[in-house]
A and B are shown apart, each in its own frame.
Chain A
Amino acid sequence: MTNSIPELETDSRCILIMGSNTSEGHPLIASRIVKAKERGARVIVIDPRDIQIARLADMYIPFRPGADVAVLNGLMNVIISEGLEDKEFIAARTEAYAEMKAVVEKYTPERVQEISGVPADMLREAARLYARNKPAAIVYAMGITQHTTGVDNVKSIANLAMLTGNLGIAGAGVNPLRGQNNVQGACDMGGLPNVYPGYQAVTSPDAQKKFQDAWGGTADTVVGLTVMEMVNGVGDGTLRALYVMGENPMVADPDLHHARHCLEKAEFLVVQDIFLTETAQLAHVVLPGGAFVEKDGTFTGTDRRVQRVRKVVNPPGNAMADWEITCRLAQRLGAGGFDFASPKEVMEEIARLTPSYGGISYERLEELGFLHWPCPAADHPGTPYLHKGKFSRGQGQFHAVEFKEPAESPDQDYPLTLTTGRLMFHFHTGSMTRRSEKLHQEVPEAYVEIHPDDAARISFKRGQRVRVHSRRGQIELDVRVTKRIKPGVVFIPFHFAEAAANVLTHAAIDPTAKIPEYKVCAVKMETIGVKEAKSQGPS
């Protein structure tokens, strides 16, 4: 996030939510937005599903999944043609405006209506609401990024914020909500194939030398493989060993049959986790890690907020905190530089080598509770919002982005668009929440949401189940008929291994960010009769 969460409540005059089911995915950010609304902020929700937060919005705009770039270009088209752009900001702080404008001019509200299904007047009204109520924050999540055009979508969002001068001030900004609790931290810490901690590029000889000197050795300057490339690599034998810590690609990966097929072929698979997950069942070695209450450390929240995690209990049996396992294994391999007595000492090394974490220490976190990075020095107060006065790269760059159709659109054989997402009661692949009794009871089984029109089309009757097919596989599950979804679109939450939505999804990936297109693929559906009664004993 360019801005911090509390600013939504205290500063934003408009909040535009796109591709984020905030009430379910990030409940306590949603409650900030509710408070903002009570204070008088305007709220716009743009989403294919009539999600809960849409109920409180001033405007709810449904659209065809995958048409994000068209909608965003349409909003900018209106803002420019009505003279609502921030001319001063554009002149002083940005470049490539003319190129962007030339593309956006082609996306008139009428044309966007044709592409996306958003009525032209609704688009105009939303554009005015956003542009006239500054500071305005854009909040988005995986609904924006999980497309073959994910990077285009994100660029378009940045365009919209820069066009209206909504960067570098409190309550504005471009605010991706991260799905998992420490995605931000995993990225910050070099858990990526192209960067060292603090986003220092592996391709930079200077960065390489810095880590070479600090660690006494490091990799070359060639970017490594992404998750999807690694899964494919073990499948075709180019990758001989895969070490997976705390991830479950067997449920989280798109096109699961393919993922299973690949992982089954792994010559050597190590899985470190707290449960024998679907992935761990395929492993050659399984190492029992520690849960978050069994270790000290820090997490970095979606608004770059670094906070402490504290050990409460010991891991069960012979299980061990993950940081300790890595240190022991490294020492087993004869490596120096892994003799840390505690995570506190690891943070001291992180601070030495990561400029944006330079001023972060356990002592300061103890005193202050949290620090927002960038926090370059021990006397720096941290940075709640980015880009004040100047962008880190100098001038803000506009991007001319054309709308592209998703990799797989519905057709005669597969007439419906499937979109996937999260539920409030479960977390990711469900390995933790589905083992929490209370959370499990709330939503014990997978289901598909369909519109009454589509239910009628397949002669669906109450109590029946359906089989959903895509070109990659099929699953059977319960049905919820609801007007909250657009006709022609179906929604399946992806938390359930036995009816995993990702059996159906498409492994097409964004060419730059390599994010799979979870949010759009083509499916068909048929009813398969009534489910057996689930009650136990004679009925």
Chain B
Amino acid sequence: MEYQNTLTTCIYCGCGCSMYVETIDGRITGVWPDKTNQISGGRLCIKGWNVTGFVGHPDRLKNPLLRKEGKLVEVTWDEALSQVAEKLSGIKRESGADSIGLMTSAKCTNEENYLMNKFARAVLGTNNIDHCARL
């Protein structure tokens, strides 16, 4: 049996509490507050205690989906990504990069947001990128 405790940061609000996520044999078994964290000081709110509650939900998407004849069906990454790449480059070629928009995410990491910003600007060539800070 392999037991692990990994320190990470809460996904819910902007307080920035950190917590240990406990796993046994790669399965999440618990959440423990981090005593040394300046914000939480060894405590969590009810959302924090339940922060991994949705992770193993059966509704999680496990494969890319592509709309075929009106329905979303499971496809491989290869098929999904070539479809996206083809469509985006086609639209860019026909109507210019500014006919594409991107919404990045306040739930994703800094690194992921940075990459979306780089993708929008450097790869597609548009400043049409925003997220829900206003919402």
Q: Which residues of A approach B to under 8 Å, CB–CB?
A: 5-6, 25-29, 31-32, 145, 177-194, 196-197, 202, 211, 215-220, 222-228, 230, 233-234, 238-247, 249, 252-253, 267-268, 270, 273-276, 280-281, 283-289, 291-303, 305-314, 316-323, 326-330, 332-333, 335, 337-338, 340, 343, 346-347, 349-350, 369-370, 424-425, 427, 432-433, 435-439, 442, 513-516, 518
Contact of A319 with B60 in the complex, beta carbons under 8 Å: yes
Determine if B1 is an interface residue (Cβ-Cβ < 8 Å). Answer: no
- For residue A145, give the distance in angstroms from its CB to the closest CB of chain B: 8
Contact of B16 with A305 in the complex, beta carbons under 8 Å: yes
A191-B129, A219-B121 given; A327·B115 CB < 8 A = yes
- For residue B74, give the distance in angstroms from its CB to the closest CB of chain A: 9
Residue of A191, A194, A314, A433 near B131 (CB, 8 A) is A191
Within 8 Å CB of B36, what residues of A? 369
Q: Give A424 to B36 CA distance when docked, in angstroms.
A: 24
Residue of B43, B89, B99 near A238 (CB, 8 A) is B99
Within 8 Å CB of A234, what residues of B? 101
- Lowest 7 CB-CB distances: which A-B pairs, in order? A317-B62, A301-B16, A436-B53, A297-B109, A224-B127, A246-B105, A302-B14
Contact of B107 with A424 in the complex, beta carbons under 8 Å: no
- For residue A180, give the distance in angstroms from its CB to the closest CB of chain B: 4
Q: Give A252 to B14 CA distance when docked, in angstroms.
A: 18
A227-B130, A239-B99, A299-B110 given; A253·B135 CB < 8 A = yes
Q: Give A240 to B55 CA distance when docked, in angstroms.
A: 33
Within 8 Å CB of B37, what residues of A? 369
Contact of A27 with B105 in the complex, beta carbons under 8 Å: no
Q: Give A518 to B117 CA distance when docked, in angstroms.
A: 27
Contact of A188 with B101 in the complex, beta carbons under 8 Å: no
Q: Give A337 to B105 CA distance when docked, in angstroms.
A: 21
Contact of A442 with B14 in the complex, beta carbons under 8 Å: no
Contact of B115 with A323 in the complex, beta carbons under 8 Å: yes
Within 8 Å CB of B121, what residues of A? 190, 196, 211, 215, 218-219
Type the 1/0 row for B111-130, where 1 means its CB is closer than 8 Å to any CB of A.
11111111111110111111
Residue of B89, B99, B107 near A246 (CB, 8 A) is B107
Within 8 Å CB of A338, what residues of B? 115, 118-119, 123
Dominant SS among interface residues on chain B: mixed
**Closest B residue by C-beta to A221:** B127
Within 8 Å CB of A190, what residues of B? 113-114, 117-118, 121, 129
Contact of B114 with A346 in the complex, beta carbons under 8 Å: yes
Type the 1/0 row for B23-36, where 1 means its CB is closer than 8 Å to any CB of A.
10011100000001
Q: How many residues of B contact A (CB 8 A)?
A: 98
Contact of A230 with B130 in the complex, beta carbons under 8 Å: yes
Type the 1/0 row for B45-65, where 1 means its CB is closer than 8 Å to any CB of A.
111101011111101111111
Residue of B9, B17, B91 near A28 (CB, 8 A) is B17
Contact of B130 with A226 in the complex, beta carbons under 8 Å: yes
B9, B26, B59, B89 — most chain A CB neighbours (10 Å): B9
Within 8 Å CB of A238, what residues of B? 99
Contact of A6 with B8 in the complex, beta carbons under 8 Å: no
Contact of A313 with B66 in the complex, beta carbons under 8 Å: no
Determine if B3 is an interface residue (Cβ-Cβ < 8 Å). Answer: no
Query: Mind listing 9 A-B residue pairs with CB under 8 Å?
Result: A178-B106, A191-B106, A227-B135, A249-B132, A297-B109, A322-B109, A330-B115, A335-B119, A436-B54
Contact of B53 with A185 in the complex, beta carbons under 8 Å: no
Q: Give A274 to B63 CA distance when docked, in angstroms.
A: 10
Contact of B26 with A313 in the complex, beta carbons under 8 Å: yes
Within 8 Å CB of A288, what residues of B? 60-64
Within 8 Å CB of B59, what residues of A? 275-276, 435
Within 8 Å CB of B76, what residues of A? 318
- For residue B22, give the distance in angstroms from its CB to the closest CB of chain A: 9
**Closest B residue by C-beta to A251:** B135
Given contacts A25-B13, A223-B127, A224-B98, 17 further A-B contacts (CB under 8 A): A27-B47, A186-B108, A211-B122, A217-B123, A224-B128, A243-B88, A243-B100, A245-B112, A286-B72, A292-B11, A307-B9, A309-B9, A314-B26, A318-B64, A319-B60, A319-B63, A433-B50
Q: Give A349 to B132 CA distance when docked, in angstroms.
A: 25
Within 8 Å CB of B115, what residues of A? 323, 326-327, 330, 338, 340, 346
Within 8 Å CB of A350, what residues of B? 110-111, 114
- For residue B43, give the distance in angstroms from its CB to the closest CB of chain A: 7
Residue of B6, B66, B106 near A183 (CB, 8 A) is B106
- For residue B14, give the distance in angstroms from its CB to the closest CB of chain A: 4
Residue of A241, A242, A283 near B67 (CB, 8 A) is A283
Within 8 Å CB of B55, what residues of A? 291, 293-294, 313
Residue of A246, A287, A323, A433 near B64 (CB, 8 A) is A287
Contact of A284 with B66 in the complex, beta carbons under 8 Å: yes
- For residue B93, give the distance in angstroms from its CB to the closest CB of chain A: 11
Q: Give A218 to B56 CA distance when docked, in angstroms.
A: 39
Contact of B103 with A247 in the complex, beta carbons under 8 Å: yes
Within 8 Å CB of A294, what residues of B? 55
- For residue B83, give the distance in angstroms from its CB to the closest CB of chain A: 6
**Closest A residue by C-beta to B10:** A181
Residue of B61, B109, B125 near A323 (CB, 8 A) is B109
Within 8 Å CB of B103, what residues of A? 227, 230, 242-245, 247, 249
A253-B135, A322-B108 given; A191·B130 CB < 8 A = yes
A5-B39, A29-B15, A433-B54 given; A316·B62 CB < 8 A = yes
Q: Give A240 to B124 CA distance when docked, in angstroms.
A: 13
Contact of A241 with B18 in the complex, beta carbons under 8 Å: no
Q: Give A518 to B134 CA distance when docked, in angstroms.
A: 10
Within 8 Å CB of B104, what residues of A? 186, 191, 245-247
Within 8 Å CB of B112, what residues of A? 245, 295, 297, 321-323, 326, 343
Q: Give A321 to B13 CA distance when docked, in angstroms.
A: 21
Residue of B56, B63, B80, B116 near A191 (CB, 8 A) is B116
